[in-house]
Amino acid sequence: MYKNKAVTQWVEEMAKLTKPDKIVWLDGSDEERIRLTQEAVSTGEIKYLNQEKYPGCLFHRTAKNDVARVEHLTFICSRNKEDAGPTNNWMAPEEAYEKAGRIFDGSMRGRTMYVIPYIMGPMGSPFSKVGIELTDSIYVVLNMRIMTTMGKAAMEQLGDSGSFVKGLHSKADLNPERRYIMHFPEDNTIWSVGSGYGGNVLLGKKCFSLRIASNMARHEGWLAEHMLILGVENPQGKVSYVAAAFPSACGKTNLAMLVPPPALKGYKTWTVGDDIAWMRIGEDGRLWAMNPETGFFGVVPGTSSKTNPNALIAASKNTIYTNVLEGPDGTIWWEGLDQEPPAYGIDWKGDPWTPDSGTVGAHPNSRFTAPASQCPSISPEWRNPEGVPITALIFGGRRAKVAPLVYQSFDWQHGVFVGATIASETTAADTGEVGVVRRDPMAMLPFCGYHMGDYWRHWLEMGKRIPCPPKIFHVNWFRTNKQGKFLWPGFGENLRVLNWIISRCEGESEAVKTPIGYIPTVDALNLEGLDLPAGTIESLLSVDREVWKEELNGQLPFLEKIGDKLPKEIMDEHNAVLNRLN
């Protein structure tokens, strides 16, 4: 069907290993989608939902032991262990190929191997990359159709080139003892075996677009980041774009699809991407960002008309739901949805469920896979092959007491330090007690495909190469009072903070210099129509010197873990903050 010799040769080689009964080369057509959907329904791999209520929507249930990414089974297989660094699991390539190869051997016997050519990024963009994923799962095929530009278009873009990312996936026997997600950065290869969960098997996503791409970006002089991309249009029609990185459970998707509050009349927000940003230096000297994906692979529980109405609309048709509660008559439900739960249903494990069962109906990591084009806030520029120009880079975490609502770094180097030291903590909302602090530099800890010290060095070097770099900020929507209640309303109101950030980038809006960065003056944020108790904004913007000294002390074990490759500039910034606090 396709004439690329390098692809054909590799597919034949992998078929000899996995021994499928047949090989199907995919073209991405609608006829193909219908045929494969019907085939998967006939085998029970997926189900149709109620097509009147959820047109084009499908339902899938994974194995009970296969419901999330498996970080402890995820490896960077670089030739030198030092290149993977202390924050990644490492395995020598020879050992990894041999160990996973034994599981792959004959794993597709009695099954079909599907060949998925796909593009990460808009077709024809100089910044796009082509991958080929081989899989024995129609569920994977149907998800990759939503998440990427798949089929003939990818092979046309590849042409005769042998430069593509090779991805091999097999469910094998779904045994967690025989489950590995292997990344070979020097070979541009990904092997995933023993899982059927999207985060482990949609190889264009975290595996390619972050772990492999971050290594590519380092060598080619760009950035592959775990960041949303959002456009903010002011009442005069000017659009400014920001890219933002948050660890999990910090509202990344909600911010990407933010709905302006009624009080901020005339503002619009535009979603370019909710998860991944590939960023390069443009001819105009600015940093330009592109979303390499074409869909959203979002967490379902907690998604409602209050938290994320745009996500609900995006997922109202042509969407694949995974591990949610199956209600009567082809309906679905999850915890946090606006409507009441059904009187009975089948839970994510396949067991009978009622509201009195005492267990969750939908798995806490249950997912929706929806086309980005269906999002009401999708940007007109989201498939622009050049990307969009980034005004500000934003980092954030979930901190009850430490970080103020927003602050601006002094310069790029200080901003890299801010990103390198972001963290989130578990809190007991009713008492405000601080739980475990998890360091997650640039929200990339599970996704950086090489040594974290080299990654920070790459960020520092990029700053020297960008003639007009974005300014760097930190936000924290999760500051609490003494009773453990959130001080800031969040959600759509976060636009007020974004507006201050953008105006700072344009040389406007007032700020106060503090030991940690520039913080808005009390009257610099537009709080019109927001009824906050007296003293709240002062609390949100306060910097407690003693708490910050503790924070800096708490950063040291993680920074020391990076070892000899820790850039001197990071420690210089750490010490500079400490000196300013003293």
Give the pLDDT confidence of 150-178 residue by residue, as tens digits. 999 999 999 999 999 999 999 999 999 99
Interior/surface letters 99-115, b for 16+ CB within 10 angstroms, e for the rest? bbeebbeebbeebbbbb
What's the rounded Cα separation, in Å, for the pair 96 and 101?
8
pTM over 0.85: yes
- Exposure on the CB side of residue 235, measured as CA atoms within 13 A: 4
CATH number belonging to domain 5-45+68-220: 3.40.449.10
Closest among 174, 185, 17 to 101, alpha carbons compared: 17
410 is in an annotated binding site: no
**pLDDT of residue 427 exceeding 60:** no
430 is in an annotated binding site: no
DSSP 378: B
Average pLDDT, the chain: 96
End-to-end CA separation in angstroms for the chain: 69
Confidence of residue 428 (pLDDT cuts 50, 70, 90): very low
- What is the secondary structure of 169-218 as a DSSP string? EE-TT--GGG-EEEEETTTTEEEEES---HHHH-TIIIIIIIIIHHHHHH
Please state the CATH superfamily assignment of the domain spanning residues 295-374 in this structure: Phosphoenolpyruvate Carboxykinase, domain 2 (2.170.8.10)
Is residue 263 within 8 A of residue 528, CB to CB? The reply is yes
User: Average of pLDDT values for 494-519?
Assistant: 97
215 is in an annotated binding site: no
Least confident of 276-290, 401-415, 430-444, 462-476: 430-444
- The domain 225-291+382-581 is placed in CATH, from the list 2.40.50.140, 3.40.50.2300, 3.40.50.850, 3.90.228.20, at 3.90.228.20
**Distance of CA 391 to CAs 242, 266, 465, Å?**
6, 20, 16
Residue 182 pairs with which residues in a beta bridge?
A: 75, 191
206 is in an annotated binding site: yes
CB atoms within 10 A of CB 431: 11
178 is in an annotated binding site: no
Q: Annotated catalytic, 375?
A: no
Interior/surface letters 286-309, b for 16+ CB within 10 angstroms, e for the rest? bbbbbbbbbbbbbbbbbbbeebbb
Q: What is the sign, positive or negative, of the torsion defined by CA atoms of 308, 259, 527, 246?
A: positive
Q: Do domains 5-45+68-220 and 295-374 have the same CATH topology?
A: no
Strands (E) in 440-560, as ranges, are 471-475, 511-514, 517-520
Q: Which two tokens stand for residue 300?
A: 């379902």
Confidence of residue 426 (pLDDT cuts 50, 70, 90): low
Distance of CA 474 to the CA centre of its chain: 18
Q: Where are the domains of the chain?
A: 5-45+68-220, 225-291+382-581, 295-374
> Which one is catalytic: 207, 250, 375, 448?
250
Confidence of residue 431 (pLDDT cuts 50, 70, 90): very low
493 is in an annotated binding site: yes
Q: What is the sign, positive or negative, of the torsion defined by CA atoms of 369, 28, 292, 168?
A: positive
